[in-house]
Amino acid sequence: MIAAIVCVAACVYLFKEMKQAKEDVDGLKMVQTKMMQHMMTPPPQPRPYGMPVAPPSTQQPPKEAVVTETTASEPEEIVEEK
């Protein structure tokens, strides 16, 4: 009987330790991923002296058209200009 209680307690303890180890490994994965992303980004290319800098784009993206639909319960109003 005592052996069964000790085994259950040991299993609970090992489960908690494994959970903690998994969290530590996940944290290391995140650090490694961030380092790889940092290392993969190319450094900015230097411009030759006297080369003009391109002005920032002021063109806005085109707006999407808004389509409104009328339903059978909403009568359409026709307004005639005189």
pLDDT in tens, 44-74: 777 777 666 666 666 666 666 555 555 555 5
Structure tokens at 46: 């230097």
pLDDT digits (tens, 9 = 90+) for 24-41: 999 999 988 888 888 888
Contacts of 15 (CB under 8 A, 6+ apart): none
Q: What is this structure's pTM? A: 0.41
Identify residue 75 by its one-letter amino acid code: P
**Dihedral angle, C-alpha 53, 58, 61, 67, nearest 10 °:** 180
Contacts of 70 (CB under 8 A, 6+ apart): 76
Q: Has residue 81 got a pLDDT over 70?
A: no
Q: How many CB atoms lie within 10 A of CB 65?
A: 5
